[in-house]
């Protein structure tokens, strides 16, 4: 039986001018001026135009915020000392020290010009320093006493064995460590941040984390609350952040994998938003999505999270380029501000690029673009239509129009986007979506039943049902399981699936050809051709979806590999007729003739006994 694929491949013309190169040839915030809603000319509290717009910041603008009450306490206490030397009455030099904020040291030096009181002063200073340290530690302990984790999750610092440094930031450092013989991640607060504000933030983060239990939220394992050694211990996410993986040029994440990341993140965020009361993350971005050994994503970093008991909040929290318009303006916001940030995450997963990369030099220019001009990152035309629609809905200017995480998950949008990107044939995509939407592999019996039901093959044509055994040869791994990617490759080579009869004709016509050896590697092809004369060739699948590769022996008995570019339903690339003699021994021949001679380079599992084709 003739087929378009077999006919196209059998007429290929190659010449020596073609390249023979193998199978694959060819914090950003400033001071608040006191306004609840900053005007265009004002700086936001804590923002500095010289900082990174992708860095995390936190500034409350609401009237009930206690940040304004602690401005003075946040300033580090410094002592400036000036030294002046002058002659004394007895002709000796006298050194007088003046300390900013008081004259006690200068008075002591004048009363004791020979320095007899220095030891006493030092003792007094040491006592005062010790007293201040004790007061500081007492305040620290008091600020943490309310937390339930003090009794339930307290870890002795001596049980933690620090290892490699994983990362660092303004708050402190993150280490790989051992706790009770298990690998963990340790977030250690830098000692210089041991002020009341930092301690409150530390206690707040731990209080939130110790109550979260979900497979897509980083697992909190304990904390050290000893002042001077404040530490949060979590499970170790060995592959780092999604940002790390996207920026790794040596790692090519498949689109399916990136959509799996998106769904995992949505699952974790949905858990937060459905807590009672809801929890707002407020710093959702790819660098706060961590990946474990099983390529599962978990939401991390709850330093800026808020418990949404009141329903709405004000203030700037998170990274400016991920902030919603309402937050940038200092307006009230709720869970939908996280949805806006998720839209930016989806954009980054789709493109591999940071949103608004290098487009804005200041916060004000970002606000002008996002709020006044309603600008968003440009979605490339190659982005799947369904995904582009979801991204735009997430970063809608009107918060109420943004979808909730529960709606995204219940609609199976991430499965659908991934499926449409993998199976480009519309009918095949409809088939898989109807029967196996959330699955990547199914049994052959399940696939055969779905295929025949979808196309009503049994009722119309028993011969077509029999020929499905040929499809099994191409798409069933180890005979019993059908993978979506194997199905997609078969469609790229022999599709489109406009009618099952046409699809099966293409497969049968090609598999009947003696020169077609199918799924053999470059090395296996060379072994098959080794003992044959020049001019002998075979055709096999290319590693490029939809394409084929010719491996042949030229006049010098050298082996060459040529890719045959092809897309489903379209023509093949043709050249000068050099390879005309097919290589015998294809394992597929036993499907049609049990007595056919097969050249074995590895164990064959294609046989008339295994596949009931007749």
Beta carbons within 8 Å of 402's beta carbon, 6+ residues apart: 336, 339, 340, 343, 393, 394, 395, 396
Q: Please state, in angstroms and rounded to a whole number, the distance separating the CA atoms of residues 517 and 148.
A: 67
Query: Is 550 in contact with 564 (CB distance < 8 Å)?
Result: yes
User: What is the C-alpha to C-alpha distance for residues 461 and 470, in angstroms, rounded to an integer?
Assistant: 16
Which range of 424-433, 464-473, 527-536, 578-587 scores highest in mean pLDDT? It is 424-433
Residue 26 CA to residue 13 CA, distance in Å, equals 16
User: Given this model, what pLDDT does residue 172 score?
Assistant: 80
- What tokens does 607 get? 């046989």
| Residue 555: per-residue pLDDT | 83
- List the structure tokens of 40: 């265009």
Of 515, 495, 514, nearest to 505 by C-alpha is: 495
Residue with tokens 């019993």: 480
More confident residue, 171 or 523: 523
What are the chain's domains? 4-24+513-591 (3.30.505.10), 148-236 (3.30.200.20), 241-422 (1.10.510.10), 423-510 (1.10.238.10)
| pLDDT value at residue 307 | 80
User: Which pLDDT score, from 0 to 100, does residue 298 have?
Assistant: 98
By the 10 Å C-beta count (0-12 exposed, 13-18 middle, 19+ buried), 79 is classed as: exposed
Evaluate if residue 291 carries a pLDDT over 90.
Answer: yes
Q: Are 308 and 277 in contact (CB under 8 A)?
A: yes
Q: Is 188 annotated as a binding residue?
A: yes
* Alpha carbons 525 and 537: distance in angstroms, whole number: 9
3-state secondary structure 363-410: HHHHHHHHHHCCCCCCCCCCCCHHHHHHHHHHCCCCHHHCCCHHHHHH
Q: What is the pLDDT of residue 190?
A: 77
For the cut 70, the answer to whether the pLDDT of residue 602 exceeds it is: no
Quote the pLDDT of residue 193. 56
Task: Read off the pLDDT band of 568 (50, 70, 90).
Answer: low
Residue 7 has pLDDT above 80, yes or no: no
Selected catalytic residue, list 207, 264, 283, 301: 283
Q: What's the rounded mean pLDDT across residues 83-88?
A: 42
d(CA 261, CA 266): 9
Instruction: Assess whether pLDDT exceeds 60 at residue 303.
Output: yes
Q: Using CA atoms, how far apart are residues 411 and 270, in angstroms rounded to an integer?
A: 14
Residues 422-434, mean pLDDT to the nearest whole number: 94
Distance CA 307, CA 152 (A): 21
Under a CB-based contact definition with an 8 Å cutoff, are residues 316 and 45 in contact?
Answer: yes
Mean pLDDT of the chain: 77
Across 382-388, average pLDDT = 95
pLDDT for the residue numbered 92 = 46
The whole-number pLDDT of residue 5 equals 66
| Per-residue confidence (pLDDT) for residue 39, from 0 to 100 | 34
In this prediction, residue 465 carries a pLDDT of 67
Say what percent of the chain tops pLDDT 70: 68
Is 283 a known active-site residue? yes
With a cut of 60, say whether residue 21 has pLDDT above it: no
């Amino acid at each position: 039986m003739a087929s378009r694929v077999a006919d196209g491949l059998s007429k290929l013309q190659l010449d020596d001018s073609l390249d023979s190169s193998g199978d694959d040839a060819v914090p950003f915030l400033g001071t608040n001026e006191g306004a609840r809603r900053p005007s265009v000319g004002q700086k936001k509290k804590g923002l500095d135009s010289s900082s990174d717009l992708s860095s995390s910041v936190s500034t409350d603008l609401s009237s009930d915020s206690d940040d304004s009450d602690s401005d003075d306490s946040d300033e580090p206490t410094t002592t400036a000392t000036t030294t002046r030397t002058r002659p004394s009455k007895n002709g000796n030099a006298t050194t007088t020290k003046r300390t900013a904020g008081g004259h006690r040291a200068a008075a002591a030096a004048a009363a004791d010009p020979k320095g007899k009181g220095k030891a006493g002063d030092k003792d007094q200073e040491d006592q005062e320093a010790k007293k201040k340290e004790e007061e500081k530690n007492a305040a620290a302990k008091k600020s943490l006493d309310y937390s339930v984790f003090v009794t339930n999750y307290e870890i002795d610092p001596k049980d933690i064995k620090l290892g490699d440094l994983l990362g660092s930031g303004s708050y402190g450092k993150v280490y790989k460590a051992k706790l009770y013989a298990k690998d963990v991640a340790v977030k250690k607060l830098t000692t210089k941040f041991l002020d009341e504000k930092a301690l409150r933030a530390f206690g707040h983060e731990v209080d939130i984390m110790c109550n979260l239990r979900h497979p897509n939220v980083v697992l909190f394992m304990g904390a050290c609350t000893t002042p001077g050694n404040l530490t949060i211990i979590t499970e170790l996410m060995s592959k780092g952040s999604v940002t790390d993986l996207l920026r790794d040029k040596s790692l090519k994440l498949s689109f399916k994998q990136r959509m799996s990341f998106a769904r995992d993140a949505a699952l974790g965020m949905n858990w937060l938003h459905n807590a009672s009361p809801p929890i707002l993350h407020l710093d959702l971005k790819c660098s706060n999505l961590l990946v474990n050994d099983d390529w599962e994503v978990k939401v991390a970093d709850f330093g800026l999270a808020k418990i949404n008991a009141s329903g709405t909040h004000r203030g700037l929290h998170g990274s400016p380029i991920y902030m919603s318009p309402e937050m940038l303006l200092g307006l009230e916001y709720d869970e939908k501000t996280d949805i806006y940030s998720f839209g930016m995450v989806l954009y980054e997963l789709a493109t591999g690029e940071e949103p608004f990369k290098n487009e804005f030099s200041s916060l004000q220019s970002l606000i002008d673009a996002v709020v006044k001009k309603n600008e968003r990152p440009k979605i490339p035309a190659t982005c799947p239509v369904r995904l582009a629609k979801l991204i735009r809905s997430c970063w809608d200017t009107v918060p109420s129009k943004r979808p909730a995480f529960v709606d995204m998950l219940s609609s199976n949008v991430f499965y659908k986007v991934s499926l449409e990107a993998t199976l480009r044939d519309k009918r095949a995509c409809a088939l898989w979506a109807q029967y196996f939407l959330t699955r990547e592999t199914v049994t052959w019996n399940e696939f055969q039943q779905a295929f025949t039901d979808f196309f009503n093959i049994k009722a119309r044509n028993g011969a077509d049902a029999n020929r499905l055994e040929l499809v099994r040869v191409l798409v069933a791994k180890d005979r019993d399981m059908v993978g979506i990617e194997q199905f997609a490759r078969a469609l790229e080579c022999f599709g489109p699936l406009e009618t099952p009869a046409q699809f099966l004709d293409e497969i049968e016509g090609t598999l009947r050809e003696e020169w077609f050896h199918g799924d053999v590697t470059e090395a296996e092809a060379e072994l098959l051709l080794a003992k044959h004369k020049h001019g002998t060739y075979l055709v096999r699948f290319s590693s490029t979806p939809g394409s084929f590769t010719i491996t042949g022996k030229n006049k010098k008995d050298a082996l060459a590999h040529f890719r045959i570019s092809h897309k489903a339903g379209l023509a093949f690339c043709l050249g000068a007729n050099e390879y005309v003699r097919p290589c015998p021994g294809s394992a597929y021949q036993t499907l049609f003739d049990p007595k056919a001679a097969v050249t074995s380079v590895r164990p064959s599992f294609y046989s008339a006994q295994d596949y009931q084709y007749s």
